[in-house]
Amino acid sequence: MKNLKTKVLSTVCAVAVGCGILSGCGTAVKETTAATTTAAVETTVAAAVTTAAAAETSAAATAAPAASLTNEEIVVKAAQEGKVGNWGLGNEYEIQALLMKYGQPTTYLSQAFDMDGFDDDSISLASAMTYNELGLVKNDYEGAYAYGDTVGFIDMNDEGVAMLEDNLFCNREFAESNPNTVKAFIYASMKGWEYACANPEEAAEIVFNNGSSVSAEHQAYMASEVKKLVETDVNGNAVTQIGNMDETAMQQTLDLAKQYIQLDDSVAKDNLAALTIDDIRDTSYITDAYASADGVFGDLEKTDVSIQLKWLPQAQFMGYYVALDKGFYTDAGLTVTIVPGGGDISETTAVNSGTVDFGVTWVSNLISANAGGMKLLEVAQVYQRSGLVLVYKYDSFQ
Amino acid sequence: MIPKRKREKNVLARVHENSRVQAAETFIFPVLFGVLVLILWQNQILHKILHTDTFTLPLPGRILMIMSDNADKILSNVGATVAVAVIGLAAGSVFGYAIAILAALFRKWGAAGLGIVAAFNAIPIVALAPVMTNWTKDVSSDAAMRSMVAKILVVTIVSIANMSFNAFRGLTELKPFAEDLMSSYAASKKETLIKLRIPNSVPYIFTALRVAVPSSVISALVSEYFAEYIVGVGRQIRENIVLAQYASAWAYIVAACLIGIIMYGILMIVEGIVLKKHVKA
């Protein structure tokens, strides 16, 4: 009897300890997994944005201590300490070009898709997109980092190492066999971008209603920042035509790509060295699209088309969501499916294999894909300047 | 009919019954199958079967060319991955065995304790790796060092459970009456452990390692995805696939396969030697 009692008691104790440990590690895992996926970063923001409006006012109230070091000194100091961060996976070339510009080794720390590494100072100079991570660092959302004006950033455009990012592309073969469809798609998409940039708040709302991964308030912040990237070029001048492929910026992107994209495959390496901008983009489709007054381009070779986004549904891609929501695609005779990305989705592979017809990627990713043997063709350049910055705390660089 | 069958048996079956031939067959058939797959692959018949193209599944010749062109780079990444897998496997196995001994000595608590180990084992590596990366932030100011520690911890945790379960069985599932015999000799718990339980558990250790070796390689590859410091075969596979460099990615995939096969081969050899001695003893 006594034996049974001990048995029961010990089992109960063990189960209790087990449950305790389990629930403990369960939460920890949940938190950190969440933190590593970008979706979660924005969810955190989402949960928090209610106090967004208060953010900037309170930040402005505290005196802003400016950095006493120059950009060069900041980059050198962070590089010497080995505390420059980037996500890698093809997003690192501008950072490497900047490090090279200031005579530093081009190694960097692998940055997770949240800003925890920046927050705990293991990364002192962290990569951030103006429309996403920078807002997360500065704004005062609950769960965000609320650094306000105590952080500064280095802009890749100002440093002359800007590479073009979000574009619109498809297979060269697809474009050649479906020219009218491509033109109609560009026409409607650019109309969507134009509308979105004129009405960023409405655009943010449309994205939010289309299965947004982040909160309405963060979408609004993102839309206002994306608008700047679409309407301003690398030199800070106003863009005359949305989606225009600027020769100089394109060439700079290709030159930097040739210098910093490291390929192990000797065939791909030779391909990369031989690439010209004519191998990666064709301006004729967008020229024809803009020449049309009504967006009617004769017989459409294909009316059901899909577009693969580089990331989760967010205002980064607001032009396409607006074009869909406002019926611009329908007006052009197209039925469009928007396919969200996320994680390790390779939009270049998706388009190359024909799973989707169009895609949004960074020009550098398109360049390395073509070097690898794909025949992808950029048909519009939506972002006219780099949205990548390196953010730092003024405290770390006094 | 009957004479024909007899003749068959005379020639083929007799050859087949030869133990040396049988030993050779276990080696030859898998190799022949491998060669057949390679031929199908190189001649793109495999691509037709799998509905894929030479872009996503590059030809073996091209993969080998990339491997020989980048031998140094691939080897340094292999070194980083192997170090993580081996150190993590060793640490996890020692730790797992220690847990098994404790569980065998304190049976009432032990069973429940192994339940907790099982729960830890159920945590996916993709969830574990970022936790470890965050947890080891203060280990060293050198990112290469703390990343290594984080990755080793992941492999360690994954390796523990396997060893615990198998070693626990080895320590407790004794030959009938062996335990009674020990107690009739008035052997202490310690003596029973050293003279009976531990020797009995040796084959079980190898059973555990047969599973733990491949899983340690996989854990090392996946944990590299989330590490701060960019090095290792797994990380290179990911970078190359995202950059649409499938041929280069495959070069690292082949390297990863070789790591797994070679480590397993070494384990088999060690097992052969140790168990032979074990049986004799």
A120 CB neighbours in chain B (<8 A) are 137
Searching chain A, which residue's CA lies closest to the CA of residue B241?
A346
Mutation to test the A interface, candidates B52, B107, B233, B242, most A Cβ within 10 Å: B242
Q: Is residue B125 part of a domain?
A: yes
Query: What's the confidence (pLDDT) of residue A142?
Result: 59
Contact status of A12 with chain B (Cβ, < 8 Å): no
pLDDT in tens, B15-39: 777 778 887 888 888 899 999 999 9
Q: How confident is the model at residue B230 (pLDDT cuts 50, 70, 90)?
A: confident
Q: Are residues B41 and B153 in the same domain?
A: no
> What is the secondary structure of B66-134 as a DSSP string?
HHHHTHHHHHHHHHHHHHHHHHHHHHHHHHHHHHHHHHHHSHHHHHHHHHHHHHHHTS-HHHHHHHHHH
Searching chain A, which residue's CA lies closest to the CA of residue B128?
A29
pLDDT at A54 over 60: no
Query: What's the confidence (pLDDT) of residue A105?
Result: 93
- Among residues 297-316 of chain A, which lie with CB inside 8 Å of chain B? none
A343 CB neighbours in chain B (<8 A) are none
Q: Are residues B139 and B20 in the same domain?
A: no
Searching chain B, which residue's CA lies closest to the CA of residue A28?
B131
Query: What's the confidence (pLDDT) of residue B280?
Result: 54
Name the residue with higher pLDDT: A104 or A7: A104
Burial A374-393 (b: 16+ CB within 10 A, else e): bebbbbbbbbbbbbbbbbbb
CATH number, domain with residue B122:
1.10.3720.10
How distant is the Cα of B243 from the closest Cα of chain A, in angstroms?
6
Q: Is residue B22 part of a domain?
A: yes
Structural domain span for residue B8? 2-50
- For residue A151, the SS3 value is strand
Query: What's the confidence (pLDDT) of residue B89?
Result: 96
pLDDT at A29 over 90: no
How distant is the Cα of A341 from the closest Cα of chain B, in angstroms?
13
Is A351 within 8 Å of A344 (Cβ atoms)? Answer: no
In this prediction, residues B156-185 reach a mean pLDDT of 87
Strand runs labelled E in A30-95:
84-86
Searching chain A, which residue's CA lies closest to the CA of residue B239?
A89
Task: Answer whether B73 sits within 8 Å of A264, measured CB to CB.
Answer: yes
Task: Answer whether B245 sits within 8 Å of A263, measured CB to CB.
Answer: yes
Q: Are residues B34 and B75 in the same domain?
A: no
Query: What's the confidence (pLDDT) of residue A172?
Result: 96
- Among residues 105-164 of chain A, which lie with CB inside 8 Å of chain B? 107-110, 112, 116-117, 120, 122
pLDDT in tens, B209-225: 999 999 999 999 999 98
In this prediction, residues B172-183 reach a mean pLDDT of 83
Q: Is residue B177 part of a domain?
A: yes
Q: State the helix-helix crossing angle for B125-135 and B198-226, rounded to 10 degrees.
A: 80
Q: Are residues B38 and B133 in the same domain?
A: no
Within B136-232, where are the H helices? 143-172, 178-184, 189-192, 198-226
Task: Answer whether B239 sits within 8 Å of A88, measured CB to CB.
Answer: yes
Nearby residues of A197 by Cβ (< 8 Å), 6 or more positions away: A203, A227, A230, A231, A242, A319
Q: Are residues B77 and B36 in the same domain?
A: no
Q: How confident is the model at residue A98 (pLDDT cuts 50, 70, 90)?
A: very high
Searching chain B, which residue's CA lies closest to the CA of residue A364?
B243
Q: Is residue B69 part of a domain?
A: yes
pLDDT in tens, A139-155: 886 567 889 999 999 99
CA atoms of A282 and B166, how far apart (whole Å)? 63
Q: What is the mean pLDDT of chain A?
A: 84
Task: List residues bridging with A389 in a β-sheet.
Answer: A128, A155
Number of domains present in the structure of chain B = 2
Is A181 within 8 Å of A292 (Cβ atoms)? Answer: no
Q: Is residue B120 part of a domain?
A: yes
- CB-CB: which of B131, B242, B244 is closest to A29? B131
In this prediction, residues A264-275 reach a mean pLDDT of 93
How distant is the Cα of A5 from the closest Cα of chain B, in angstroms?
12
Query: What's the confidence (pLDDT) of residue B105?
Result: 86
- CB-CB: which of B69, B108, B111 is closest to A266? B69
Task: Answer whether A109 sits within 8 Å of B143, measured CB to CB.
Answer: yes
Query: What's the confidence (pLDDT) of residue A243?
Result: 95
Q: Are residues B250 and B115 in the same domain?
A: yes
Query: What's the confidence (pLDDT) of residue A41?
Result: 39
Contact status of A265 with chain B (Cβ, < 8 Å): yes
Phi and psi, residue A110, nearest 5°: -75, 120
In this prediction, residues A325-339 reach a mean pLDDT of 95
Searching chain A, which residue's CA lies closest to the CA of residue B106?
A10
Lowest model confidence (mean pLDDT) among A145-149, A284-288, A303-307, B13-17: B13-17
Q: Are residues B22 and B121 in the same domain?
A: no
Is A182 within 8 Å of A293 (Cβ atoms)? Answer: no
Q: Are residues B210 and B191 in the same domain?
A: yes
- CB-CB: which of A18, A268, A349 is closest to B116? A18
Q: Is residue B32 part of a domain?
A: yes
Contact status of A88 with chain B (Cβ, < 8 Å): yes
Q: How confident is the model at residue A276 (pLDDT cuts 50, 70, 90)?
A: very high
Is B46 within 8 Å of B57 (Cβ atoms)? Answer: yes
Q: Are residues B141 and B239 in the same domain?
A: yes
A112 CB neighbours in chain B (<8 A) are 130, 133, 226
Q: Using alpha carbons, select from A350, A327, A336, A334 the residue that is nearest to residue A301.
A: A334
A4 CB neighbours in chain B (<8 A) are none
Task: List residues bridging with A152 in a β-sheet.
Answer: A392
Searching chain B, which residue's CA lies closest to the CA of residue A34?
B127
Task: Answer whether A369 sits within 8 Å of B239, measured CB to CB.
Answer: no
Q: Using alpha carbons, select from A95, A102, A75 the residue that is nearest to residue A364.
A: A95
Q: Are residues B7 and B120 in the same domain?
A: no
Q: How many CB pairs under 8 A join A and B?
A: 124
Task: Answer whether A6 sits within 8 Å of B239, measured CB to CB.
Answer: no
pLDDT at A296 over 80: yes
Query: What's the confidence (pLDDT) of residue A27?
Result: 36
Query: What's the confidence (pLDDT) of residue A24?
Result: 38
pLDDT in tens, B103-159: 988 888 888 888 888 888 888 888 888 889 888 888 888 888 999 999 999 999 999
Contact status of B250 with chain A (Cβ, < 8 Å): no
Searching chain B, which residue's CA lies closest to the CA of residue A88?
B239
A344 CB neighbours in chain B (<8 A) are 238, 241-242
pLDDT in tens, B41-79: 999 998 998 888 888 889 999 999 999 999 999 999 999
Q: Is residue B250 part of a domain?
A: yes
pLDDT at A18 over 50: no
Query: What's the confidence (pLDDT) of residue B255?
Result: 96
Searching chain A, which residue's CA lies closest to the CA of residue B113?
A14
Q: Are residues B22 and B79 in the same domain?
A: no
Lowest model confidence (mean pLDDT) among A3-12, A211-220, B260-269: A3-12
CA dihedral (B117, B120, B122, B126) positive or negative? negative
- CB-CB: which of B109, B123, B247 is closest to A265? B247
pLDDT at A28 over 50: no
- CB-CB: which of B73, B113, B244 is closest to A374? B244
Query: What's the confidence (pLDDT) of residue B126?
Result: 83
Task: Answer whether A264 sits within 8 Å of B123, measured CB to CB.
Answer: no
Name the residue with higher pLDDT: A357 or B136: A357
Query: What's the confidence (pLDDT) of residue B5?
Result: 55
Searching chain A, which residue's CA lies closest to the CA of residue B71?
A264
Name the residue with higher pLDDT: A11 or A171: A171
Query: What's the confidence (pLDDT) of residue A38?
Result: 38
Q: Is residue B55 part of a domain?
A: no
Nearby residues of B131 by Cβ (< 8 Å), 6 or more positions away: A28, A29, A32
Nearby residues of A364 by Cβ (< 8 Å), 6 or more positions away: A90, A93, A163, A253, A256, A257, A261
How distant is the Cα of B2 from the closest Cα of chain A, in angstroms?
58
pTM exceeding the 0.90 threshold for the entire prediction: no
Lowest model confidence (mean pLDDT) among A4-8, A136-140, A213-217, B203-207: A4-8
- CB-CB: which of A107, A352, A368 is closest to B245? A368
Query: What's the confidence (pLDDT) of residue B276?
Result: 84
B226 CB neighbours in chain A (<8 A) are 36, 112
- For residue A132, the SS3 value is coil
Query: What's the confidence (pLDDT) of residue B7?
Result: 54
Q: Are residues B220 and B258 in the same domain?
A: yes
- For residue A342, the SS3 value is coil
- Among residues 338-377 of chain A, which lie with CB inside 8 Å of chain B? 344, 346, 348-349, 352-353, 365, 368-369, 372-374
Task: List residues bridging with B9 in a β-sheet.
Answer: none
**Complex ipTM value:** 0.73
Task: Answer whether A21 sits within 8 Å of B66, measured CB to CB.
Answer: no
